[in-house]
Amino acid sequence: MLADRLRARARDAAFAANVLRATGVARSLRPGGLVSFARAARGAKFGPHLAVMLQAHLQPDKECVVEPGPGGLRRLSYGEFDAACNRLAHALVARGVSPGDRVALMLPNSIEYLVAQAALPRIGATLVQIGYRSKPAEIAYILENAEPRATLVHGDYLDAMLEARKAAPGGALIVSEPRPGETRAETWEEAVLTAPGDRPPTVRGEDAGGIIVYTSGTTGKPKGAARAWNKTGLDSVADMMLQVGMRSSDRHLVLCPLYHSAAPAFVAMMLALGATIVILRHFEPEAALSLIEREHITCTLVVPTMLVRIGALPPEIRNRYNTASLRWVMSGAAPLATDTARTFQELFGPILWNFYGATETGLVTLAGPRDHVSRPGTIGRLMRGNEVRLLGDDGGIATPGQVGELYARNSMLIGGYHKNRDATRSSMKDGFFSVGDLARVDGDGYYYLESRKHDMVISGGVNIYPREIEDRLHEHPNILEAAVVGVPDPEWGESLRAYVVPRPGQALSEAEVIEWTRASLSDFKRPRSVVFLDELPRNPTGKVLKRELRAR
């Protein structure tokens, strides 16, 4: 047993060394910087803030973050960014935030968001994310559930926050980019103006902070997925870095909302490598292409609907911008249609990756650019440190080709849902976690998503997985997007209805859409009705809100 453990540690060490070499991080590990970092970080708890501290000592003058904003272009070096994190940490401590406390953020994509994300672990506090599109009742629900000691909010959302705080207090209130003449809350500048830029006092005790991400609520009230930094491993993160070819020289464009889970995770990866982060506050296809050209962007994270919108741009607009600097684009957070992947790679080259994971599970599988062609629809193979069980309705393990509920186990699993033991218990089996996704695996270990468990349609006693039908509809040249749900049927229990968004300027009929599915799908898998929409209802991370479609 001892020999096995020693061999495993040797393999892990060799793998880590390979990652450091391949990403270019090893070249920046100068003895003087490492010694300086070791002194500054003495006694610090594990967390994403350590990566920023390390880079601030290794290369303090390197560009860390760039944000085009209403006040002009802002650029911070790693040294400046690290000091900004320390000042906010000191300011929060002065306002009563202690290790184990929670701090809520309701901010747009911005430098302030990244500063807060890296500042809170320094004082052992947990970040609570609130989407900036949330309404007062939704905000109040999160404040009541999370009980934050302090709240950071952008001026544009202050009215909604103040309305929510009438029902649920959120502690000290700090507002960034306040409206002119605003006096209802302390401003970010006032809070940090006199705060020191050195490291805040060492966190005592076991609590190293963490993050609570409230799930998108596609099926009901959101649940707070709670992850503690001192219990989070990095196996799959390092594996993804190596497979994708992430580098310390990368310039990463933030397009997805930072208040979800994927975008800040990729920012943390980039900061750990010493790369540069470029922030786009709100996604617009042409604005993204313009920023890619102007800032020589090498990589970005997207949700599939962003790929659709970029691909739908007129060629004369798309061809205006030079995007040759792009080395890799990662898609996640929602199912990636095969046709969407192929169209994007025809336009931009074989640079598109796709990962499967969830807020609760972290990174699980990864598919590369060639997989979209050779294995259409795959979400890839397991990343390092992951185990998966596909369980049938009887609890038995599904064989290759059979569909089962996907349960994952790795070192990134959340500790549970905040104040919701029942939801935590119902999602776990023998240490494996499920978010209700149904999948199958082939003989070569490639996984394929079929549906969410609550999306599965039972028609005439037969289980139907909408993903297969949606993929077929996305192949139609005049269909931009499609979603399939089950609707009540007096004869069959449920029948299939397709909601279709035509491409701009294209006309479609219900008969034409149904006929399109005839050649490749069994009769029971064909939609019985079609509804045309200008756009599909989605949450901010790109997931189609099928409960809204079913409610129609």
Range of 171-180, 470-479, 505-514 with top mean pLDDT: 171-180
Is pLDDT at 305 greater than 50 in this prediction? yes
Cα–Cα distances (Å) from 338 to 342, 364, 369, 419, 519, in that order, read 6, 20, 11, 39, 18
Domain of 164 in residue numbering reads as 41-232
CA 57 to each of CA 16, 54, 162, 196: distance values in angstroms, whole numbers, following the listed order: 21, 5, 40, 18
Same-domain pairing of 123 and 14: no
CATH number reported for the structural domain that contains residue 519 in this entry: 3.30.300.30
Q: Does the residue 179 lie in any domain?
A: yes
Do 115 and 142 fall within a single domain? yes
Let me know whether 62 and 210 are in one domain.
yes
**Winning range, highest mean pLDDT, from 45-54, 131-140, 362-371, 521-530:** 362-371
pLDDT at 217: 53
Same domain, 14 and 69: no
> Which residue in 385, 384, 369, 382 sits closest to 444, CA to CA?
382
Same domain? For 24 and 67 the reply is no
Residues 78 and 204 in one domain: yes
The answer to whether 225 and 362 are in contact (CB under 8 A) is: no
Please state whether beta strands 126-129 and 102-106 pair in parallel, antiparallel, or not at all (unpaired). Answer: parallel
Residues 12 and 100 in one domain: no
Residues 99 and 214 in one domain: yes
Please report whether residue 267 resides in a domain.
no
Phi-psi region of 544 (alpha: psi -120 to 50; beta: other; left: phi over 0): beta
Instruction: Look at residue 490 in the predicted model and tell me its pLDDT.
Output: 74
Q: Of 232, 259, 290, which marks where a domain is finished?
A: 232
Statement to judge: residues 115 and 228 lie in one domain: yes
For position 218, what pLDDT does the model report? 47
Interstrand relation of 210-214 and 378-382 (parallel, antiparallel or unpaired): unpaired
Band of pLDDT at residue 158, cut at 50, 70 and 90: very high
Residue 83, pLDDT above cutoff 90: yes
> How much is the average pLDDT of 118-147?
92
Query: Is residue 288 classed as helix, strand or coil in its secondary structure?
Result: helix
Q: Is residue 146 part of a domain?
A: yes
| Structural domain includes residue 162 | yes
Find the CATH number of the domain harbouring 66.
Answer: 3.40.50.12780
Q: Are residues 103 and 199 in the same domain?
A: yes
Angle CA 446–452–453, to nearest 5: 110
Structure confidence by residue, pLDDT tens digits, 89-125: 999 999 999 999 999 999 999 999 999 999 999 999 9
The β-bridge partners of 405 are 391, 438
- pLDDT (average), residues 447-468: 79
Residue 348 lies in a domain: no
Based on the domain organization, do 218 and 91 belong to the same domain?
A: yes
Least confident of 251-265, 467-481, 534-548: 534-548
Asked if residue 118 and residue 6 are part of one domain, the reply reads: no
**How many distinct structural domains can be found in the chain?**
3
Domain boundary among 217, 232, 247: 232
Q: Quick one: pLDDT at residue 461?
A: 64
Q: Which of 358, 351, 338, 512 is nearest to 427 (CA)?
A: 358
Query: Is the residue at 203 inside a domain?
Result: yes
Which residue from 102, 122, 149, 110 is spatially nearest to 52, judged by alpha carbons?
122
Among the candidates 232, 247, 279, a domain finishes at 232
For residue 542, being part of any structural domain is answered with: yes
